[in-house]
Amino acid sequence: MKILYAASEVAPFAKTGGLADVGAGLPKELAKLGHEVWVIMPRHRSVDDTGIVLEKPSGRVSVHVDSIPVEGQIYETVFPGTEDTSTPARMIFVDNPAYFDRAGVYGESGMDYTDNLERFVFFCRAALQWLKKSDWIPDIIHANDWHSALIPTYLHAETSDIFDNTRTVYTIHNLAYQGLFTKSRYSVLGLPWDLFHLDALEFYDRINLSKGGIIFSNAVTTVSKKHSQEIQTVEFGCGLDGLLKSIGHRLHGILNGCDTDVWNPSTDPHIAQQFDSESFLEGKAENKKALLKEMKLDALDPDVPLFGVVSRLEALKGMDILADTAEKLVDKRAQLVILGTGDSNLEDALQDSAKNLPQNIAVRFVYSEELAHRIFAGSDFFLMPSRFEPCGLSQMYALRYGSIPIVHAVGGLADTVVDITEPNGNGFQFSEPTDTAFLKTCERAFALYAEPRKHRDIIRQAMSFDATWARAAKTYTKLYGNLLG
Ligand code: ADP
Ligand code: GLC
């Protein structure tokens, strides 16, 4: 099959969250299965920060944004990790410095770029034009979240028959972000006004790009089974529950995978000591020691449990629950390491807690891939009290590194973390996103920590967690095949 995978972020070229990890993991496995895969993303500034050398452009595109022709260049390289496969995938960058050579991917200092609509209209139109110019018409176009949701919408509006045999899949990674823009900017899209209605792009008198992806794609997926049911309810549907319920027959939940080339404690170059399910006792102890030293938490004498957090700092991630309870949680008998960026009020609150208990709590408000690896490797428990979590990848990484996850049982967290009271338990679940329920569940973690033999068994169980991209890629391939008939 010929598959175009379009996303605004693909690790390591650009990453603000799990979307980028999916963009790295899934296409690689699709290529390994023998499919002809092209992956397309904007050339954000961070692409060049990876040290990649993009020498000569392979061509140009010129597309209309608000009726004005805008030029771009296309650069290509081999998709990382597919070099040795019989069908190496292509990594394609859409270059337009005015739009994409910026410090952020969607915005800076907590503010979205005001021209995000223009930027992603350009990206989606450029992607389609490049396919036509290359005379490479995919069987499947797989778009992801609102940034590429216009691709299926433009295909719907396409007047030529060039894409008649192409089928589209739209994956919802995070319905909380839908690409909403004021109606007065509709001309930027270059689409007829008859697509601005309830059954197309209109949403409470605004433009909603995700709606286009959902309505005009042949199949819609989200990133866990449980979340595919949740988004059909008022509580989790973010205003689109009615629509999602009505398309239930073409809505699928496919759990993300875990890229074991990157997230593997036995080969991880970023951690103090590599370990596997045989050697974790010593390995985790060494990593904990190194992490405590790095975070300046090594003055505390007794051996106490270490809780880790790697997260965007926002209420959807339950980070307000963490901020409210951090000091009570450690209560001088535990330690807490937090890595995250986001809401400045949450940063301030967590910073205050770290000031109040400097031997117990350390915070880093930066984005650091390396430190994230060290937190997974060195912590005993991993906290994810998310209110909303379509899949969640961090809990999967924590499991593989033997850091026992403590999670609110929503979305992918409920589908991957099994409470230790159940057979094959690998973590802790709580069902209400409240301070009390969270703290009560952490008490259960203290109890487990006090029982070394049981704790070891649970670590072993956690490390055996196995949700591979190979499995997910097979499920996607089956779905693509069904669409092609
Ligand atoms: P989401 O995509 O909603 O943020 P996921 O759990 O799917 O949640 O993915 C988050 C990804 O981003 C994980 O790979 C996690 O390790 C990473 N991450 C989040 N914040 C940071 C940070 N400050 N530094 C490094 N990695 C981070
Ligand atoms: C989104 C979701 C997260 C998911 C990720 C990758 O950012 O918030 O739960 O794991 O996308 O699909």
The pLDDT tens digits for 363-417 are 999 999 999 999 999 999 999 999 999 999 999 999 999 999 999 999 999 999 9
CB atoms within 10 A of CB 450: 10
Ligand 1: nearest atom to the Cα of 341: 23
- How many of the other CB atoms lie within 10 Å of CB of 185? 15
Say how many Å lie between the CA of residue 392 and the centre of ligand 2.
Answer: 5
Amino acid at 302: P
Dist CA 212 CA 203 (whole Å): 10
Does residue 258 have its Cβ closer than 6 Å to ligand 2?
no
Instruction: Please indicate whether residue 223, judged by its CB atom, sits closer than 6 Å to ligand 2.
Output: yes
**For atom 10 of ligand 2, which residue has the closest CA?**
392
Tokens representing residue 387 in the block: 């209110």
pLDDT of residue 109: 87
Q: How far is the CA of 173 from the centre of ligand 2 (A)?
A: 5
390 pocket-lining for ligand 2 (C-beta < 6 Å): yes
φ, ψ (nearest 5 deg) of residue 334: -155, 170
How many A from CA of 19 to the centre of ligand 2?
6
Predicted TM-score (pTM) of the model is 0.96
Our answer on whether the CB atom of 173 is closer than 6 Å to any ligand 2 atom is yes
Ligand number nearest CA of 312 is 1
Give residue 393 CA to ligand 1 midpoint distance, Å: 7
For 34-62, b/e burial (b = at least 16 CB within 10 A) is ebbbbbbbbbbebbeeeeeebeeeeeebe
The alpha carbon of 372 and the centre of ligand 1 are apart by a number of angstroms equal to 8
pLDDT at 110: 85
How does strand 90-95 pair with strand 68-78? antiparallel
Atom of ligand 2 nearest to the CA of 316: 8
Ligand 2 atom with the smallest distance to the CA of 223 is: 12
Among all ligands shown, which has an atom nearest to the Cα of 270?
1
- What residue's CA is closest to ligand 1, atom 16? 394
Ligand 1 atom closest to the Cα of residue 364 is 23
The verdict on the CB of residue 341 being under 6 Å from ligand 1 is yes
For ligand 1, atom 9, the nearest C-alpha belongs to 18
Nearest CA to ligand 1 atom 20: 311
Closest ligand 2 atom, residue 17 Cα: 7
Order across the sheet with 167-172: list the strands.
Answer: 59-65, 68-78, 90-95, 36-42, 2-6, 140-144, 167-172, 219-222, 251-253
Is 414 close to ligand 2, i.e. is its CB under 6 Å away?
no
Region of residue 205 (left: phi > 0; alpha: psi -120 to 50; beta: else) = left
Is the shortest distance between the CB of 394 and ligand 1 below 6 Å?
yes
pLDDT of residue 87: 92
Atom of ligand 1 nearest to the CA of 174: 3
Mean pLDDT of the chain: 97
Q: Are the beta carbons of 305 and 395 closer than 8 angstroms?
A: no
Q: What Å distances lie between residue 135 and 3, 74, 130, 163, 459, CA to CA?
A: 14, 15, 8, 11, 51
Contact (Cβ atoms closer than 8 angstroms) between residue 458 and residue 445 = no
- C-beta 253 within 6 A of ligand 2: no
User: For the segment 301-324, what is each residue's pLDDT rounded down to a tens digit?
Assistant: 889 999 999 999 999 999 999 999
The residue contributing the CA closest to ligand 2 atom 11 is 173
Check pocket membership of 25 for ligand 2, CB cut-off 6 A.
no
- Please report the atom of ligand 2 found closest to the CA of residue 176: 8
- Among the bound ligands, the one closest to the CA of 339: 1
Q: Which residues of the chain have pLDDT under 70?
A: none
The response to whether residue 19 sits with its C-beta less than 6 Å from ligand 2 reads yes
Q: Is the peptide bond before 88 cis (omega within 30 degrees of 0)?
A: no
Any ligand 1 atom below 6 A from CB of 312: yes
